[in-house]
Amino acid sequence: MVDPRPDLLLVPGAPATLEAPLAERFVLHRRPEAAADAIRAIAGGGSSVVDAALIAGLPALEIIAIHGVGHEGIDLAAARARNIRVTLTPDVLTDDVADLAIALWLSVHRRLVVNDRALRAGGWNAPLARRASGRRIGLFGMGHIGQAIARRAQPFAAEILYTSRAAKPDLPWRFLPDLRALAQASDVLIVAVAGGAATRHAVDAAVLDALGPEGVLINIARGPIVDEAALIAALERGGLAGAGLDVFEDEPRVPKALLAMDQVVLSPHQGSATREGRAQMAALVLANLDAHFRGEAPPSAIV
C-alpha cells in the first residue's frame, strides 16, 4: 500500500524532539537525494541552511517550517519565487530569550558565575563586583525580543537607548541611528538584532572601543553579528569590562580564549531552551505544517 504521509526533509538544526510527532505525519528524510521529487516539506531550526540550490533541487517543495525565529540561512527570495511558505515560531520564545539576556547581564556585572566557581573551589572572599542598577542599556535591535529586553531592563536602568533600522516612535526609549554612537552612550550593549549578511560583524573593534573599558557586551542573537576575534582582543587588553554570550561565531566551537576568561559568562545557545518554550515552539511548528497540509494558511508564516 502506498504510504499516505507526505515526505518531509529534516535539515541539520531541526530539534530531535520534533522527530516523533513529525514521523506520525510525514515520511522523514535526512538527505534530499533520498526523495528529491517527493519532498513537500522541510523542517529545520533557527540556524538551519535552506539555500537556493536545495530549494531548486526539490521540485515538490511547498513549505519550510522553522523551529525558531532566526531565518538568515533560508533563501526567502528563492522560496517566494516558487510560492513556498516559510514559517517561524515567533512570540512563544520572546520572554525566554529576554530573560536570558537579563540573566547574562546581571551575572556579568555581579560576578555570579566566577564567584560560584570560586566558592565551590573552597573560596569565600570575592573581589568587588560592578553595580548593575543605574546603567545605560543600549539595545542593538528593537524587534519583539529587543522590546521584551528593554521592558525588563527598564526598572534597573538609568536610560534605555536603541539602534534599529528605523526609529519606533511608539516606544518610549531613545533612538540612535548609529551603532557606534549607541555603544558610546551605553554601559551595556545588548545584541538583539537578526543575523545574516546585513549585520555580520556589525559589532566590530570600533563599536567595542566605543563601548569602552567599563562596558559590557551581551549577545543573545547570533554569533557572527560580533567580530569574535575583536571581542577577544578587547577583553584581553581590558578594552571591555566583560561579556555575556549565548551565541558564537562558529557554534558549537567556543574559542579557548573565552573559556579562560573570568569576566565572561558563557551559555550554549540556550535563549529559547526552557521546557515551556520548547514545547510551545514544537507545537507551533506542527500547527504550521498541519494547517498547510489541511489547505489552510499556517498561523505564523513570513512568506
Catalytic residue among 19, 214, 251, 276: 251
Is 214 in the active site? no
In the list 29, 67, 109, 111, the residue contacting ligand 8YV (rule: CB under 6 A) is 67
Does residue 104 contact residue 246 with C-beta atoms inside 8 Å? Answer: yes
CA gap 47, 59 in Å, rounded: 23
Q: How far is the CB of 193 from ligand 8YV (least distance, A)?
A: 12
End-to-end CA distance of the chain: 35
> Which one of the listed residues 29, 71, 85, 222 is annotated catalytic?
222
Minimum Å distance from CB 203 to ligand 8YV? 17
272 near ligand 8YV (CB under 6 A): yes
- Site for ligand 8YV contains 15 (CB under 6 A): yes
Whichever of 207 and 220 has its CB closer to ligand 8YV, that residue is: 220
Binding-site size for ligand 8YV (CB under 6 A) equals 13
292 is catalytic: no
Least gap, CB of 65 to ligand 8YV (angstroms): 11
Label residue 12 exposed, middle or buried (CB < 10 Å: 0-12, 13-18, 19+).
Answer: exposed
Q: Compute the radius of gyration of the chain from its Cα atoms.
A: 21
Rounded CA separation 76/93 (Å)? 22
CA distance 98 to 3: 43
Q: Distance between CA 84 and CA 105 in Å, rounded? A: 39
Question: Considering the complex, what minimum distance in angstroms separates the CB of residue 59 from ligand 8YV?
Answer: 27
Rule CB under 6 A: choose which of 26, 40, 45, 94 binds ligand 8YV.
45
295, with CB counted inside 10 A (0-12, 13-18, 19+), is exposed
Residue 156 to residue 28: CA distance in whole angstroms:
48
Shortest Cβ 272–ligand 8YV spacing (Å) = 3
92 contributes a contact to ligand 8YV by CB under 6 A = no
Q: Is 300 in the site for ligand 8YV (CB under 6 A)?
A: no
Cα–Cα distance, 206 to 221 (Å, whole number):
20
C-alpha cell at 239: 578594552
Residues near ligand 8YV (CB under 6 A) are 13, 15, 45-47, 67-70, 93, 269, 271-272
Active site amino acids: 222, 251, 269
